Structure 1
Amino acid sequence: MGPSKPALTISQQAFDEMVKENIDDLGMDPTEALQDAIETLTLQGVDLSGIVTCAPGEVKDNPVIQCLDRLKQLNSDQNDVDEIIVLLDKLSDLCTIEGSGNAAIATRNGGIELVCSVLLNLRGRSDRGLVSSLKAMASLLHDVQSSGIFQKNGGPKMLVAILNDGSQNSNILTACFSVVAAAATGNEIIKESFMELKIDELIIRILKIDGKESIPSLYDAVRILLTPDDNRVVASQVYGYARRFAKIGIAEALVDSLKEGISSPSLVSATITLKAVAVNEEICRSIADCGGVDAVLRCIDDSGEQGNNTVARVCCSLLSKLAGSDTNKSAIVEKGGMDKLIKLASRCSDDPSVLQEIMSTISVLSLRSPGNAARAIEAGAGDLAIQAMQRFPGAHQMQKNSCSMIRNLVVRNPENRTLLLNNGIEKIIRKAKENHESCKEAATDALRDLGLDNYNV
């Protein structure tokens, strides 16, 4: 499939002239003229993001434009740092108002280029100003076009230089990695730029220096650098980046955060990031070798005891990924993983989003392993499937994961088929198949491997 056709665009001047023509030539009042211009251009498929939609002469009254104009004046003087900081913070606030379109307006009117210039001018002069500049930049980076402007203005190189300068200042680090995450989202070219600048080595160094201090945006940055989210490219390089991160010790650094336990403010972020790093069997095994499986199982126990469903969900998701390695699969079961998962399910029985992750993990543990499938049934996986599917008929992802788990529990274990069929699983699976389009394939496979002839009905 080729790249999508770019949307038609219009300049601010052309938009203003169109509104003016509606007033002068067609006799419309300003409000009617503005609405007509917006509707006409929208019907023509024109992208109006970044356009200040107002009556002629009122563009300068827009708070984003006013903020940028004043910031431009002060930046050229480089004197009043305090007012520059106030303006940067105001720009951040304006651009983070959901649905306002302010980030697009600022970008179209030179906001990114201006904030890049401010960053360069404040670097080495004011740490507080640097943090405000970085926060403003993160608020401006909202799409591929804005991150492209950031790239053209040397953004990645500038950020890595600031990170090297400020590696002892947690506020600068936090703000910098927020910009890395925002810039790299959906942009393969920027991911590549950061990796060419060896940001992976810098991140490991910072993690080792500040290992005990929580920098959530650092974890976000790593996760996004390793996420193939740019639909413009056919083959992403992020899997190679994950291998690079693994080679220089990211697994050990992240597992250390998990070992701090459920009280660690970095636990959820580190867990999600570790899952992004675990792209092949070798890395999954290396995570287990440095204590990753033990740490995850301990966090699963603790999350159930403390009723922390968020931690439970992300830890089960990571365990499922680690179980992709046959060596890890055996270790997880030997360490009582099956029993811990069923115990967690009983404690989180009212949350289908946790149950679906538990089922996904049991499914992976049972894949091509009759012994593990037997162990799962002994632990109560069959009862879990029946009770959860009956209790949450509308939870389509949980229903799908349950069907997949049932399939893996019975495909090589005929004795499990009889047990589940006697407990009424066929009717429950057929209901899921009927109610949810997304469940049809998994439900059909489960019915077939349960030994039913009419599985495709």
Structure 2
Amino acid sequence: MAKRMITQETFDAAVRENMEEFEMDPDEALKDAVEQFESQGVNLNCIIQAVPPVSSDGKQEPTHEVLKVLNSLCIVKDSASVQDVEADLKRFTELCSLELAQRYLAAQKDAYPVILSYCKKGVEEQEAVCTALSALAALTNGQPDLLNAEGQQFLLNILKKYKAESSNRQDLVKAGILPLLTGAIKQHGESAQIVKEATAALKVMTFDDDVRVAFGQAHEHAKMIVLENNGLKVLIGAAKAHLDNTSVLSELCATLSHLAVRNEFCQDICDLGGLKLIMTLLAEGYEKAELIRQLIVIAMNRHMNNSAVCEQGCACLSVLALRKPENCIVIMENGGALAAVQAMRTHTNSINVQKQACMLMRNLVGRLSNLSQPILDLGAEELINQYLKTHQDCGDVGKAALRDLGCHVELRELWTGKHGSLTQ
């Protein structure tokens, strides 16, 4: 049964009533309102679940911050340039990026035509149009119905003019946006900004095109980028041209991970030098957390059935973790240990995967013993013991991992030089 919907005004009024009529404190009033509406079968996904703002004189204000910023943009829409309202556009983008409820409320108050008008104003100046397009992209994320034919045509015109930016999915793909994006990267490969923005747009095309439906065209879009537009070769080539730009590399690698949706695509990435490139990037810039988060764990999770990816992924993470507690924390937070455990479980017959996973676990807990229990909770001990039984001739690394994780392990004492002597 479909859930009921309410307006933001109705929700805010209920919170205010709890505070004013029932003298609840703000947090209690908010919690009670949420519970009451949910008990009535109301869908609150598109509702900003926050206490309505209070003005300096103690009176309730009728609007949330996203609407205040939108109102400021509306007031000067006919007279101000994009540069004049740059701060407001960026704040609007930030707020819409927080959650669907923020951008849904803005859309309900006719934000789309306002933001599109600023996009058109900035069309002749690349920095200005990118600022306005970022706001448009944030607003339309998860709300594809907003981007009407006028907006789609405008974006296609921008791509033809700058070969740089994009925002929405199915209709844009049908209109020919994918070759424009890959063409932009090839044609303007020396421009870090264009490569980054066009790559980000390609990545967006691989997202679910409508969060309100069960199935979208994300997988098909990824296949089209790879098979019809040579996307893997284009992106890996662009990465090689911007080896000194962490921000661009991060976007490129993240997009590659979204395109690797089939085993043959994973192999293509390896054949094109993608895996070697990633390892080089990590070896030369392993302290850059931005790359760490985007690269290895994502690659391992997406290509768990590929033993080479798992082996190299664990090896890279192991290097990153060695005597670097700050990196260990990042790796743990991004699921690196979980990926290693899953790799061991998936590739029980691969000595190299097992060995590299054990090395990673050792390095993670080497200077942060408090990480041992979370790793053990993932089932690491059982998997390492299984590795020791299966590959008895390669047990030193596994035993060392058990020892460092605080597990019981029987270590066989090697020859100590006592009770005898060497003779010629």
The alignment's TM-score, normalised by the length of structure 2, stands at: 0.67
User: Which residue does 1:277 correspond to in 2?
Assistant: 259
- Work out whether 1:244 is the aligned partner of 2:221: no
1:329-376 CA distances to partner (integer Å, 9 max, x unpaired)?
A: 29x97xx88766544432545524336637736964884463x41575
1:164-199 CA distances to partner (integer Å, 9 max, x unpaired)?
A: 2222xxxxx3xx34xx1xxxxxxxxx5222322232
| Alpha-carbon offset, residue 206 of structure 1 | 0.7
User: Which residue does 2:418 correspond to in 1?
Assistant: none
User: Which residue does 1:254 correspond to in 2?
Assistant: 235
Q: Which has the higher helix share?
A: 1
Cα separation, 2, equivalents of 1:296 and 1:135 = 28
Cα separation, 2, equivalents of 1:133 and 1:209 = 24
Could you say what secondary structure the match of 1:7 adopts?
Answer: coil
Could you say what secondary structure the match of 2:251 adopts?
Answer: helix
| Alpha-carbon offset, residue 43 of structure 1 | 6.7
User: Which residue does 2:244 correspond to in 1?
Assistant: 263
Over the aligned positions, Cα root-mean-square deviation in angstroms equals: 5.1
User: Which residue does 1:385 correspond to in 2?
Assistant: 361
Cα separation, 1, equivalents of 2:302 and 2:30 = 52
Cα separation, 1, equivalents of 2:8 and 2:330 = 44
- Cα distance change, pair 279–423 in 1 and its aligned pair in 2 (3 A): closer
User: Which residue does 2:162 correspond to in 1?
Assistant: 166
- Work out whether 1:345 is the aligned partner of 2:327: no
| Alpha-carbon offset, residue 95 of structure 1 | 5.6
| Alpha-carbon offset, residue 227 of structure 1 | 3.2
Stretch moving more, 255-264 or 92-101: 92-101
User: Which residue does 1:197 correspond to in 2?
Assistant: 175
User: Which residue does 2:281 correspond to in 1?
Assistant: 299
Picking from 353, 357, 360, the partner of 2:339 is: 360
Check the 8 A contact 1:67/1:91 in 2, yes or no. Answer: no
Give the share of equivalent positions with the same residue, in percent. 14
* Structure 2 gaps, min length 5: 409-424
- Cα distance change, pair 204–365 in 1 and its aligned pair in 2 (3 A): farther
| Aligned partner letter, 1:93 | R
| Alpha-carbon offset, residue 71 of structure 1 | 3.6
The count of residues paired between Structure 1 and Structure 2 equals 382
Cα separation, 1, equivalents of 2:386 and 2:209 = 30
| Alpha-carbon offset, residue 226 of structure 1 | 1.6
The alignment's TM-score, normalised by the length of structure 1, stands at: 0.63
* Structure 1 gaps, min length 5: 23-27, 75-79, 168-172, 181-189, 431-457
| Alpha-carbon offset, residue 205 of structure 1 | 0.2
Check the 8 A contact 2:192/2:242 in 1, yes or no. Answer: no
- Cα distance change, pair 261–91 in 1 and its aligned pair in 2 (3 A): closer
Picking from 317, 324, 329, the partner of 2:297 is: 317
User: Which residue does 1:455 correspond to in 2?
Assistant: none
1:27-47 CA distances to partner (integer Å, 9 max, x unpaired)?
A: x999x9xx9x99997675386
Could you say what secondary structure the match of 1:8 adopts?
Answer: coil
